[in-house]
Amino acid sequence: MSDLTGELLDGRYEIGAILARGGMATVYSALDTRLDRLVAVKVMHPHLANDDDFVERFIREAKAAASLSHPNVVAVHDQGWNQGGPPAVFLVMEYVEGPTLRDVIRDRSPLSLNETLVIAEAILSALGAAHRAGIVHRDVKPENVIIANDGRIKVADFGLARALSSMATITADAGTLLGTVAYLSPEQVQRGIADARSDIYAVGIILFEMLVGSQPFVGENPIQVAYRHVHEKVPAPSSLIAGIPASIDALVAHATAADPDQRPKNANDFLREVESAHSGLDPQDPIHQEKEQPVIMAKKVERSPVRPVARKASGKPNRKARRTLFILAALILGALFWYLSLGPGAGVSVPSLVGLSSQDAQASVTKVGLKMVIASQTFSEDIPANRVLSSNPAGGGRISDGGTVTVELSKGPERYIVPSLASLSVAEATSLLTPLHMTMDSQNQVFSDTIPRGYIISTKPIAGAKVTRDTQIIATVSKGIAPVPLASYVGKSSDQALTELTAAGLKPVSKMAYSDTVAAGIVISQSPTGGGNVGKGTVVKLVVSQGPRTIVVPNVVGQTAAEASKAIEDAGFTFIINKLSTRGNGRVVGQTPAAGTRARAGSMVILDVY
């Protein structure tokens, strides 16, 4: 990648000297011309900047890293693309002046116990903040730990390791990955998966390296190193450095267990262990204090250390010493042969199964001559369903040939389906939710035209949603039909009553009735009466006047006065006889009102009789 020194990135960051180069990026010092402060700018190499998938992951992880605010975390200030100059995807970080932990280990390791534990506690404090935020570093190594000149300890590159690990493969010529491979956990090497426990493994390796001065596993290429992480156990630091307490050996062993289930769950848990071990050390112990050089029991070499041989003054081993060495070697080889062929070491090494599907796990144990039994299934937020959560013995353990490995499978995330609670009472819904590990909250209450008072209208989350254990279901409960004020329409026109009642959401029903006192079309009475509130949709009965009742006047002309009088009364009228002559035949010759007309009941009909 070309040197960007002197460039102005994004019109803001004036690039200074190169601070570091890596397989993924180059880090420069820079001046933030907008805020007039010194920053560190990490510029991705061009072949990565042209990879759309990588850039997308880079941006996403940079945003996550920027959310971390912790005194032991190198803060992320900005991220962007260079505009108007050399193409570059970059990240702007807090500038921390001082050496990396790699520099410190190279210049003056092994470190004292006190300094080792202080640095480890700072690293774990930073990782603990990340793990609480759901962020896994994935690339914890001394190069990413800065020891500031003022004594502060900072962890860098949060969020960037995910993008790197998702695209990197371990190959014999991948020299740029050698530093990273030295801290990869077995599950990262075998299955490419990582969680908080993978960060713990890396911290355990760093602990070993600070205490001893070299990495536990070295090799000529990354594949050899990765192989040793999977198949070998990290040695106890006390086996190489005199005076290291058993409590410190236990810390390294716990953090670097081959089976991630056997490690601390996250950085916060391991931090408490480290602090407890630190507080239990004797501050007067020389190995606990700062010093130039601790007593080294074995040289730091890439191959297994050998025992020292007695020499003559000339520097050559004497004959007796060579014979003693030969006998000792024969005894060791014989003991090793017995141990591996007939003794306890003759067992089969259990492969690491965590994260494998049940079928793949079965194939793995069958391949090495073992059997597998599924002992139980447990919910897990991290391991998908039907994949191995843990095994007994754990990965790396040994059992006799043909032995049985019991495994615990994941049931996947613990989720429950929200049932349909609509039209149930709150009590009924609560009883239904309890065995499903959910609780009820009926804080929302609204009016409903269709759901009775006290019954559920809807829920949040909705029916059919998958939720975690102890999720609170918020129910919207009916308060019944919304009340509507009802006016009195007695004495008002039926048209007005029908219009206003309908607009108010009520249902008017009217019937007609005769009235001698109320004009036609006017409301005589209503039920319910006005002046109060009624439920929306209530039926309001109206009695509307159709005026006085009228009757058809019968035709009585030609009838005798007696016959006509009876017919008029039977029809519902009164009558009066108007006698026109005393010499007539006594029959009706005329009537008022005329026959066939309508007159009010009880009114008078005048009969003209001749």
Cβ atoms of 402 and 369 within 8 Å: the answer is yes
**Residue 139 bears catalytic tag:** yes
E strand or H helix that includes residue 108 = helix 101-108
Q: What are the percentages of helix, strand and coil residues in the chain, rounded to 5?
A: 30, 25, 40
Cβ atoms of 185 and 194 within 8 Å: the answer is yes
Among the listed residues 593, 588, 542, the one whose alpha carbon sits nearest the alpha carbon of residue 566: 588
Pick the catalytic residue from 36, 53, 107, 139. 139
E strand or H helix that includes residue 125 = helix 113-132
Residue 269 phi/psi, 5-degree rounding, is -65, -45
Find all residues with CB under 8 Å of 107, minimum gap 6, and list them: 99
Which amino acid does the sequence have at 234?
V
Pairing of β 25-32 and β 8-9: unpaired
Distance CA 210, CA 142 (A): 9
**SS3 for 242?**
coil
Among the listed residues 46, 42, 45, 78, the one whose alpha carbon sits nearest the alpha carbon of residue 63: 78
Distance CA 142, CA 155 (A): 9
Distance CA 218, CA 545 (A): 108
Count of CB atoms within 10 A of residue 384's CB? 12
* DSSP string covering 313-381: TTSSBPHHHHHHHHHHHHHHHHHHHHHHHTSGGGSEEPPP-TT-BHHHHHHHHHHTT-EEEEEEEE--S
Count of CB atoms within 10 A of residue 388's CB? 26
What's the N-to-C CA distance of the chain in angstroms?
138
Which token pair is 312? Answer: 């003559």
Q: Which residues are catalytic?
A: 139
